[in-house]
Amino acid sequence: MGIGDSILMVACLAGLMLALPALLIFLNIAFVGVSERAASRLSKGGFTPFLVGLGITALIGIPASVGVAAGSVLQFCGGVAWLFLLLVGFIGMASVSRLIGYRVTELNEREESPLIQALAGAFVLSFGIAFPVIGWVIVLPFCLIIGLGAIVMTTFNRIFGKDSHAPKVHMPRNPFMEEVHP
């Protein structure tokens, strides 16, 4: 391993540490309702969302991979399916970071704004993902799968009219989305 390889690895990790928190904060702001509901569901427990996310990943990921390998129109459809799966997974990962941020700022024993909570959770999750083997192989896929499962569970509970009986994570609304009254 030469000096160029070392510089490349450090630059990639530095880019990850800057880009991933920004993406997670953006997704928390853009999908505030979905993120709140999924974080509330995750506060109840993570085993069931993990199993649901694993099933959805297998249900969509395997046919998408077969389609990408087949070529032609199926390659395009498989690529779109993978992009959709990753989008929903990253929105779920944003809700995981939101819950982590809530728990971290809860230790401060004062009410923090949702932006500070999202920022703290995004950086904690990014530092967890930046560890060379554990972060890349365990933390990142686990967060994507559990977040995907939480999003799917809250979406289906909302569609079929079932209320989630999960304890509500007390997270105030996004300050960027509130109306300002003069």
The series of mean pLDDT values per 10 residues for the chain, 182 residues long, is 83 84 91 89 90 94 92 90 94 93 85 84 89 86 94 84 53 50 49
End-to-end alpha-carbon separation of the chain, Å? 61
pLDDT of residue 171: 52
- The residue type of 123 is F
pLDDT of residue 163: 56
pLDDT of residue 7: 87
pLDDT of residue 9: 83
| CB of 112 closer than 8 Å to CB of 105 | yes
SS3 13: helix
pLDDT of residue 45: 87
Quote the pTM value: 0.80
